[in-house]
Amino acid sequence: MKLFERLWAWAVRTFARLTKWAEALGNFWAKYWLAIAGTFFVVGSTVLKWIESPFTSDLKGLQIPIFHPPTLLPHMTLLSFGVIGILILVAGLFVSRYSLIVAGATAAILLTIFALVPAQIAFIQPTMLQRLTEEDQTMPLENSFNKKDLPQNYGAAEIIPKRMTLYSAWGRFVAAWSFLRLGWYCFGLGAALIAVYALSKLRGQRGVITLACLGLPLAALAIVALPALVGQLYFSRGALAKAEGRNEDAIANFRTSMRWDTWNALSIDLYGTIGELQKLANISYDSPERHISTALAMEKLSNYEQAVFELDLAARDGGRVAIAARREAARAHILLGLALYNANGYGGAISNWQQALVEDPDQVYELPYLARAYYNVGNFEASIDTVIKLVPYVRDHNQSLADAYSLAADSSAKIGRFDDARDYFNLSLAVDPIENYWALTGLAGE
C-alpha cells in the first residue's frame, strides 16, 4: 500500500513537473513560434526534394550547387543553396540576439536565395534546364517502350511537367519553376515565417524590412534575368526579320540573342534555323549551322545515319555549337537504336546506344532500353550489369527502379541464379508494391 502511495506521489510530482516544463515550453513556443517554425522549415527543407528530375535522381537542397550544374549522380556540396541557406540562417539568428534588424536581413537574404533557384535553373545554368526538359521529353518514349516491351507494372504514376514553352525567357522561368518541389516551397515558407517574425518584433522598422524582403529578391531576379530578357528581345527581332524575309538580319539577331542568352547558344533548333536561313541566302557554305540544319531535316525523315554524319561535321570546329551538335548526335543514336529495336534489330540497337553513351555520357535515358536489348539477345550478364549501372540514376523513381530490378531478376533467372532473381523481384516489389504485376508473377514463378 505504501509503495502504491509512494508511486502515486511520484507520479503526481512527475506530472506536475512535466506540466511545468510543458507550460514553459509552451510559453517559449508562443513567443518565438514564428522563428522556430521558420527555422524548422528552412533547415528541414534542405533534406527534401527541391528539384524533380523526370528520369534521373531528384535534387535536394544540399545537392544543388550554386556555381555549377549538378552532376547526374548528385551529392552534397558545401556551396549549395541548402548549406548556404542554413549558414545564413544560423548566423542571422545568432546575431539577431543583439540586433533584431539582422533577423529581417536574414529573412531577406533567404527569400532572395529562394527566388534565385528557378532563375538559376532557367537563366544561369541553362544546361540544367536543358537536361530536365530533355528528360521530360524522353519520358513519353520511355513509357511507350515500357508499355510495349516490358511486362505490366502499373505502379503509381508520377506527375511530371507537361507542355513547356521554352522559346521565351518567361516560358523558361515557368518551366524551371514547374520542376521545383516541396523542399523549395518549404524553404520559402520558412524564410517568409522568419520575415514575419522580424516584422512582428520590429514595429518601428517594418517599412525597411518589408522593402528588403520584397526588393532584394526582385532585384536579384531582375539582375539574373536581364541577359535572358535582352536575348529574348533579339530573338523576337530575329523571328520578325525571318517572317519578313530578311534572312541576314534574322541571322544577325539570332546570333546576338545567342551571345546574351546561353539557352539559345545551346539550342540545336536555333542553329538549325540559322543554317536553313544561310542555305536559302546562299551564304556560309559548310558552316556548322548548315550541317545542323541538314541533320535536323534528315532526322525528321528518320534518316538518322545521315543526321549523325552531318552533326559530326558540325561539331568539328568546337565551341558551343559543337556541344549542341554532339548532344544531338547522341540523341540521334538513341532514336536510331529505338527504331532498330522496334524492327527487331537488337544488335544494331545495342551498338547505337553504346555509341550514344560514348558521344554523351549524360544520355543515361537509354540504359533501360540497352538492358532490355541485352536481355533480348541473350546477353543476360550484360543486362544485369546495365541494370546495376542504371539503378543509382533512377533510385528516386519507384516505377523505373522496380522495372530495372524486375529486368535484372528476369536476367538472373535466365542464367539460373534464382536466389538473385528472387532478391531482385523482392526489391522490385519493395519499391513499387502497387499493381506491380511483373514482380508479383515473377516471384510466383510464372
Please list every residue from 121 through 160 that binds another protein, using CB under 8 A: 133-134, 137-138, 140-141, 144, 147-148, 152, 154, 156-159
Site string for another protein, 399-428 (x = CB under 8 A): x-----------------------------
d(CA 83, CA 38): 16
Residue 437 lies near another protein (rule: CB under 8 A): yes
d(CA 338, CA 332): 10
List the grid coordinates of 28: 517559449
Of 326, 331, 351, 349, the C-alpha closest to 339 is 349
One of 170, 219, 223, 358 touching another protein (CB under 8 A): 170
Binding-residue total with another protein (CB under 8 A): 84
Residue 301, class by beta-carbon neighbours within 10 Å (0-12 exposed, 13-18 middle, 19+ buried)?
exposed
One of 1, 3, 30, 285 touching another protein (CB under 8 A): 30
One of 62, 216, 338, 387 touching another protein (CB under 8 A): 338
List the grid coordinates of 406: 524486375
Task: Please answer whether residues 255 and 240 qualify as being in contact, where contact means their C-beta atoms are separated by less than 8 angstroms.
Answer: no
One of 69, 161, 227, 433 touching another protein (CB under 8 A): 433
Of 77 and 267, CB closest to another protein: 267
Of 110 and 401, CB closest to another protein: 401
CB of 67 to another protein, least distance (A): 26
Residue 317 lies near another protein (rule: CB under 8 A): no
Of 88 and 325, CB closest to another protein: 325
Of 95 and 189, CB closest to another protein: 189
What secondary structure letter does DSSP report for 202? -
**Stretch binding another protein (CB under 8 A), from 86-94, 195-203, 283-291, 330-338:** 330-338
DSSP-assigned beta bridge partners for residue 65: 80
CB of 197 to another protein, least distance (A): 16
Which residues in 280-299 contact another protein (CB under 8 A)? 280-282, 296-297
Task: Please answer whether residues 440 and 429 qualify as being in contact, where contact means their C-beta atoms are separated by less than 8 angstroms.
Answer: yes
Residues 6+ apart with CB under 8 A from 174: 164, 165
Which residues in 224-283 contact another protein (CB under 8 A)? 225, 229, 232, 236, 239-240, 242-245, 247, 267-270, 272-273, 276, 280-282
Residue 441, class by beta-carbon neighbours within 10 Å (0-12 exposed, 13-18 middle, 19+ buried)?
middle
CB atoms near residue 139 (< 10 Å) = 18
d(CA 381, CA 355): 20
